[in-house]
Amino acid sequence: MERAGRPAGRSADSEAAVITRVRAGDTDAYALLVRAHTGVALRTAVAFGAGADAEDVVQAAFFKAYRALDGFRDGEPFRPWLLRIVMNETRNTVRSAGRARAAAGREAFCRGVDPVISDAVDPAEAALARKRRALLIAALGELSEEQRQVVTCRYLLEMGEAETARALGWPRGTVKSRLNRALRKLEGRLDGHLAPERQDPVGGTGKGGPSRRRRGVVR
């Protein structure tokens, strides 16, 4: 079974309880969701090209998410739902700037935001993970918009397949097929550093999403 973006059980129940409190009128409780997800929201905005506007994009996205919380489906994970709003807000912000700005945003993402890799990971393996990531970012410009989106979610934001599908609003089969086509397109450029659904950016299996990254959760 694929790993979710946060541990199952008590923490997920706690987040659901926070959402219930917000819907009941406890506006202060929303700050718990903001604190838990600001980091990944900023990473998403930057990865999708927001650049220096990332903080404004995330602030607007959290406001829109708050206004839309009554439409959030109980039992669904909050993070991909939020990140879909962040992605949409980012696209709206950078649309006029076009592809050049998105590329600059990806370069800033490569320079300024490193993935969280456990201290237990072998240093050589961690270095290889960073090399894979740099190669991938450099190659993103060769892909279609849809392929860039799925590769960014799966390999740069380290989201699982199901979470990617929710965030992008695509069926899981579409995520898998577009990811495989993108990686096949980049096969020569990546020189075997990534393989469709077999290898993730930190050396895991790829089938269940990232295995060593730990997400922020509401406690």
Reported as a single tens digit per residue, the pLDDT across 183-213 is 898 887 776 566 555 444 433 334 444 433 4
Which two structure tokens, joined as six digits, stand for 61?
A: 């996205």
CA dihedral 155, 159, 160, 164 (to 10 degrees): -100
pTM, 2 dp: 0.72
pLDDT tens digit sequence for 121-133 = 566 766 766 777 7
| φ, ψ dihedrals at 34, nearest 5° | -60, -50
pLDDT tens digit sequence for 3-36 = 444 444 456 568 999 999 999 999 999 999 999 9
Measured CA to CA, the distance from residue 74 to residue 126 in angstroms comes to 37
How far is Cα of residue 172 from the mean position of the Cα atoms in its chain?
15
Question: What is the pLDDT confidence band of residue 172, given thresholds at 50, 70 and 90?
Answer: very high
Cite the DSSP H helix spans in the chain.
10-23, 30-47, 54-67, 78-94, 99-112, 123-139, 145-151, 161-168, 172-185, 187-190
- 179 CB-side CA count, 13 A: 31
Domains of the chain: 10-190 (1.10.1740.10)
